[in-house]
């Protein structure tokens, strides 16, 4: 009998069991979410040379503490396990409080952040806006003339940024026969891709009869279109923009990556992979009003509009996510929670969170491999967990 390989011993399955057809399924996702580039074509986003990550900081003392959740008190360690956490980094007042990693994830490993990619892409757009290169109030057709006649033909960039495009499309993550499955083939995330590019797919989408701007509708193609918009406005590829405009000024310690389609178009709606530490650095930069290490990264006015004052409460209430943040808003691909802590966040499927709590000066980056893409009761627990954790550290 052949003995198990080191890979099998650690992960519980052989590497050749992880396929393009199952990489988002448990248990394979525990490995694939850290190694997306082995399955989907990806472009690198290099970090600055010579930036030290520093050692991992122990969180052991916090793991036994109890938090009050809907089902009753639960230890931090138990909740991390129940929510399939792969990696966690906590910052307080700009300093690393601690890191926690599951046995199958190493300190310093990259992990896909899914729709937190939208929030990162919007930061790049905000930087270009500050430079005068990108106009959020312009019609989409200024940058993408061929969008005329599509759902985006009469939409503005602002509608795209705030997810208020009246787009006839459903985020049917688990339906293999849906338009969403065709979308994933166009991104090369599912078998059978390569016949239709991401841009070509997006421009076939129909619109609803309702005017743009009235209702918050979470539709991922909007955020892939945003990546195309910033590329058209700047004349440069997104991975280059992210490196020059965000990753280097941020002082990111590790290389990031983003998946690309058959034409090299970046999957800016969900394909970015970063380390927990670097994701936390993004949150801290936003908490600091757009600065990192004393350097201006994104205009302060853009950050304030994004996390404090912008966004339509009415459009948010008409959407389907108001249960998560009853007093919330959505602006520039970031969620304003409306909580007393003034917390704001980026969220990705399968349990990716970047939670920023200005009141307590806390930033929490959580990367996970939850089996289900979306689990509403767990998301409600997650918000309560982050608020409690913010008060503990």
Residues tagged active-site:
115
Q: Could you give the CA distance from residue 177 to residue 193 in angstroms, rounded to a whole number? A: 14
Task: Provide CB contacts within 8 A for 336, sequence distance 6+.
Answer: 307, 308, 311, 325, 328, 329, 330, 344
- CA dihedral over 11, 16, 19, 22, signed as positive or negative: negative
CA distance 215 to 163: 8
At 258, give phi and psi (nearest 5°): -145, 135
Interatomic CA distance for residues 316 and 329, integer angstroms: 6
Among 342, 300, 354, 312, smallest CA distance to 129 is for 300
Give first-to-last CA distance, the chain, whole Å. 50
Rounded to 5 degrees, φ, ψ at 70 are: -60, -35
* Residue-wise burial string across 356-370, b where 16 or more C-beta atoms lie within 10 A, e elsewhere: bbbebbbbbbbbbbb
Q: C-alpha distances in angstroms, 112 versus 42, 173, 216?
A: 11, 17, 25
């Amino acid at each position: 009998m052949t003995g198990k390989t080191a890979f099998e011993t650690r992960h519980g399955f052989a590497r050749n069991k992880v396929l393009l057809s199952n990489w988002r399924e448990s248990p394979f996702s525990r490995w694939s979410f850290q190694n997306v580039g082995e399955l989907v074509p990806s472009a690198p986003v290099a970090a600055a040379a010579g930036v030290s990550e520093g050692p991992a900081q122990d969180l052991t003392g916090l793991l036994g503490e109890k938090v009050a959740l809907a089902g009753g008190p639960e230890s931090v360690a138990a909740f991390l396990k129940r929510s399939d956490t792969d990696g966690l980094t906590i910052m307080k007042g700009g300093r690393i409080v601690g890191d926690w990693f599951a046995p199958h994830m190493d300190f310093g490993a990259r992990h896909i952040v899914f729709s937190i990619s939208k929030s990162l892409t919007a930061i790049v757009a905000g930087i270009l806006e500050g430079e005068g290169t990108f106009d959020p109030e312009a019609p989409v057709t200024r940058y993408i003339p061929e969008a005329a006649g599509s759902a985006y033909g009469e939409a503005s960039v602002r509608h795209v940024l705030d997810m208020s495009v009246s787009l006839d499309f459903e985020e049917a993550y688990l339906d293999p026969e849906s338009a969403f499955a065709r979308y994933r083939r166009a991104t090369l995330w599912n078998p059978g891709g390569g016949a239709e590019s991401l841009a070509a797919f997006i421009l076939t989408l129909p619109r609803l009869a309702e005017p743009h701007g009235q209702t918050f509708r979470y539709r991922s193609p909007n955020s892939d279109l945003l990546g195309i918009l910033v590329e058209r406005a700047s004349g440069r590829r997104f991975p280059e923009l992210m490196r020059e405009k965000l990753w280097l000024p941020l002082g990111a310690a590790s290389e990031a990556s983003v998946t690309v389609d058959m034409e090299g178009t970046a999957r800016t709606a969900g394909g970015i992979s970063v380390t927990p530490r670097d994701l936390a650095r993004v949150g801290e930069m936003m908490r600091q009003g757009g600065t990192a290490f004393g350097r201006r990264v994104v205009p302060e006015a853009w950050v304030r509009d994004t996390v404090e004052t912008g966004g339509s409460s009415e459009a948010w209430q008409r959407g389907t996510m108001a249960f998560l943040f009853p007093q919330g808003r959505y602006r520039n691909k970031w969620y304003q929670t409306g909580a007393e802590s003034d917390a704001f966040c980026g969220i990705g499927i399968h349990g990716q969170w970047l939670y920023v709590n200005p009141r307590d000066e806390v930033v929490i980056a959580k990367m996970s491999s939850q089996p289900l893409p979306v689990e509403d009761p767990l998301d409600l627990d997650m918000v309560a967990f982050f608020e409690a954790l913010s008060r503990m550290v």
